[in-house]
Amino acid sequence: MENMDPSARHFAVVFLLLGLVSASSQNNIITWCTVTDAEEHKCLDLAGNATARNLRGKLQCTRGLSPTDCMLKIKNGSADAASMYPDEIYTAGFCYGLELAAGESLNGEDGINYYVVALARRSSSDLSLLEMHERSSCHPGIRTTVGWTVPIGFLVNTSQISVDEQCNFPHAVGDFFGYSCVPGVKDPEHDPRGNNPKNLCEACIGDENDRHICVNNPRERHFGEAGALRCVAENLGDVAFVKHTTVFDNMHGRNQESWALDLELEDLKLLCPDGNEASPFEHKLCHLAVVPTNAVVVRAEDKCRVYKFLERVQNAFGNATQGFSLFSSAAYGAANVLFSDATQKLLRVVGSYTSWLGPSYTTVLQAFECEGLC
């Protein structure tokens, strides 16, 4: 610029300043990727309320076709952030090199959502998680975190189950257990060729008229975590894979079905990964995996920028009792929109996505990499 005439220098400075202003403005815009109508609606409401409060930074909303599409948009810069479930977080990090800006806290402290446990009858004295071959199992459903990903990942990682070159998990599981109830395993969505093993439905009971056996919905009475617990309580399975809260959610009159009313806590035990056992109260010491809460996926370079914006939003709308509430989905016709309704606060994620997911959950997910996550 030193050799420019004064007028040329003036215009050069103006263009430089305009460029800096433009870059600064872009840096203050966060584009959030949504995948449902409810998410888009709440995102737009959040954007409008943040602007009305004059919060620093501007929120824009864009629509993705799926969580994977949002991962691609974040990677290529057409979006900056999206809320994702733990298994989606793993894919976002492992396949797309993305990181986390913030995670949900349900108790105001850590990012733990729940523990996955193996529940059995106390009278089953010869049971061990290290010797489950030919035993019977009860699962909340096919392809669920609690009922499939965690327990099957554990059995693969402990070399009890071997998966063939085709990465056919249902066949491997059917060959391993004597019989099971895995609701949905024979549904066309999960078994388009009708080849999945029949013994994965043998502990299922269907509805009161013996119909809808092994379907992936409540018409199968062993569907879901309460159903898996019932499967064990009625002696139709040796072990149920459930959340640590499942027993307590179905006792003391909370579940009025006859099988639950007869349930006694002292009749049940947890099976531990080391082959030992524990009481249902000892889930923090005896579990297959700790499943983390949802978190906000971003590019690594945007961790700080996105968290700072979320911090301002949280301070404004995190504990709102009137008007827009960041952690309420009451107005959107669905539960857990953008953030879980039980969230108390958002925590800053300083480490990598694997540190948020934790070693036990990351390890079980690694067992499924042959399925081609990317």
Task: For residue 140, give the 3-state DSSP assignment.
Answer: coil
- Least Cα distance to 169 among 131, 142, 135 occurs for 142
Report the distance separating Cα 95 and Cα 34, nearest Å: 20
Report the distance separating Cα 356 and Cα 346, nearest Å: 13
Q: What is the pLDDT of residue 26?
A: 55
Q: What is the pLDDT of residue 5?
A: 54
Whether residue 227 contacts residue 100, with contact meaning beta carbons closer than 8 Å, is answered with: no
Domains in the chain: ranges and CATH: 6-108+294-371 (3.40.190.10), 112-291 (3.40.190.10)
Report the distance separating Cα 101 and Cα 227, nearest Å: 36
CB count, 10 Å around CB of 66?
Answer: 10
Report the distance separating Cα 289 and Cα 119, nearest Å: 14
Q: What kind and span of H or E run contains 9? A: helix 6-27
Angle between helices 359-366 and 150-157 (to 10 degrees): 80
Report the distance separating Cα 326 and Cα 85, nearest Å: 18
Q: Considering the entire predicted model, what is its pTM?
A: 0.86
Low-confidence ranges of the chain (pLDDT < 50): 2, 4, 6, 8, 11-25
Q: How many helices (H) and strands (E) does the chain have?
A: 12, 13
Whether residue 335 contacts residue 124, with contact meaning beta carbons closer than 8 Å, is answered with: no
Q: What is the pLDDT of residue 28?
A: 86
- Least Cα distance to 202 among 138, 128, 119 occurs for 138
Q: What is the pLDDT of residue 342?
A: 94
Q: What is the pLDDT of residue 108?
A: 87
Angle between helices 303-317 and 37-52 (to 10 degrees): 80
Q: What is the pLDDT of residue 4?
A: 46
Max Cα-Cα span within the chain: 94
